[in-house]
Amino acid sequence: PCRSVLTVACEQTEVLLFDPISSKHIKTLSEAHEDCVNNIRFLDNRLFATCSDDTTIALWDLRKLNTKVCTLHGHTSWVKNIEYDTNTRLLVTSGFDGNVIIWDTNRCTEDGCPHKKFFHTRFLMRMRLTPDCSKMLISTSSGYLLILHDLDLNKSLEVGSYPILRARRTTSSSDITSSGSSGPRTVGSPCHQNDSGPLSEKHMSRSSQREGGSPRNSLEVLTPEVPGERDRGNCITSLQLHPKGWATLLRCSSNTDDQEWTCVYEFQEGAPVRPVSPRCSLRLTHCIEEANVGRGYIKELCFSPDGRMISSPHAFGIRLLGFDAHCSELVDCLPKEASPLKEIRSLYSHNDVVLTTKFSPTHCQIASGCLSGRVSLYQPKF
């Protein structure tokens, strides 16, 4: 968070640490995990968590990198996502086992942290908390976006208490496939199963249904509108949130892997379906077709800290995208219909497919990483 360290998650069990200002290599955690490292999340300016295909999460302290603070066991498949609720100091992780697990870092010991399963759904790809931690968004490989409203992480949810979600997920025979069978870094075949339930057939463009349960953790199921041929379905491979909570940013690919898009959706609060809590919907405001190079690999994009720009992996480089040519705020240039994102600048410095990009939270700096392991840092010239 203080931008003093850049951490890099690598395929072959490693975590790399750099000084982002001088570009100097600080340290290599050569055996951070026993399998591919997928994600890194800082809890504060010294403590960070890593997750891996070895099904574990590890906590690290920058002041003592020779050993882990502790290893967390609870997932049964590849762990792909880490979030942190700064209000409750609870760590939230999700994996290809379909589980979202809560870890109480307030009671952390060398043997781990108390934990509990919070939520479960099949085909889970990405999970994010809104900046104020009032909502949890979950994307799936079959094109659904789940929103848990009025979030209460202390209350676990049972799948059986959401019959609408369960019914929609079991109407297709292709749902039998386990999402843990895809390749270590690729989207894989389970992410491209076409869910032929009532949502995808009747409301693929812009449908939403609300399961009006309790006021806390009430569930909404959305099928975001995606450009292209809607009847082929899509896979939501990357999910990010606007830093001010105004919108969500998705990277989507078609089920046949022949098209790929970056899409921005504005959050719109609507009239309540039931008195317990408001209804939310997503409106596609901006989109752009991507190069679709490196098919099957997940490309992680991001918002700038002020939310005015998007950095998106594009073939062997990255594209800086804006809502208009002047990099205006989203709320100042909302179109009546979906409009193309404006390309501000393209940066190409890699010799392989770029898989991830990240803005510095405090400086005018961007980092990108490609499949062959190269990390590039960019700074503007004034």
Mean pLDDT by 10 residues, the chain (382 residues): 91 93 93 96 95 97 94 96 93 96 88 90 94 93 90 75 36 30 36 36 34 67 77 80 94 82 86 52 91 89 96 96 95 92 95 96 93 92 74
Edge-to-edge order in the sheet of strand 47-52: 37-42, 47-52, 56-61, 70-73
- Output the pLDDT for position 229: 56
Q: What is the DSSP string of 119-177?
A: EE-TTEEEEEE-TTSS-EEEEETTS-EEEEES--TTS---GGG-HHHHHHHSSSGGGGS
337-358 burial, b if ≥16 CB within 10 A, otherwise e? eebebbebeebeebeebbbbbb
Residue in this structure with the two tokens 């055996």, named with its chain if needed: 31
Q: How many angstroms separate the CA atoms of 186 and 110, rounded? A: 33
Ranges in the chain annotated CATH 2.130.10.10: 1-121+159-169, 228-381
Half-sphere exposure of 247 (CA within 13 A, CB side): 23
Query: Which one-letter DSSP state was computed for residue 64?
Result: B
Token digits of residue 113: 């942290």
Instruction: From residue 310, give the alpha-carbon distance in Å to each of 52, 159, 223, 248.
Output: 26, 35, 23, 11
**The CATH classification of domain 1-121+159-169, taken from the options 3.30.479.30, 2.130.10.10, 3.40.50.1980, 2.60.40.1180:** 2.130.10.10
Task: Give the residue among 266, 277, 369 at the shortest CA–CA distance from 317.
Answer: 369
pLDDT number for residue 32 = 96
Strand partners, 280: 269
Please give the torsion angle defined by the CA atoms of residues 319, 135, 223 and 284, in that order, rounded to the nearest 10 degrees.
-50
For residue 201, give the H/E element and its range.
Answer: helix 198-202
List 368's β-bridge partners, or say none: 357, 376
CATH of domain 228-381: 2.130.10.10
Give the per-residue pLDDT at 296.
81
Q: With 0.85 as the threshold, say if the pTM is over it.
A: no
Q: 72 near 103, Cβ under 8 Å?
A: yes
| Angstrom distance (rounded) from CA 74 to CA 87 | 23
Q: Which residues partner with 261 through β-bridges? A: 252, 289
290 phi, psi to nearest 5 deg: -100, 175
Q: Which positions ≥6 away from 131 have C-beta within 8 Å?
A: 241, 243, 244, 245
The single-letter DSSP state of residue 332 is G
Q: Return the pLDDT at 177.
A: 29
Q: Is 233 left (phi over 0), alpha (psi -120 to 50) or beta?
A: left
**What is the residue type of 270?**
G
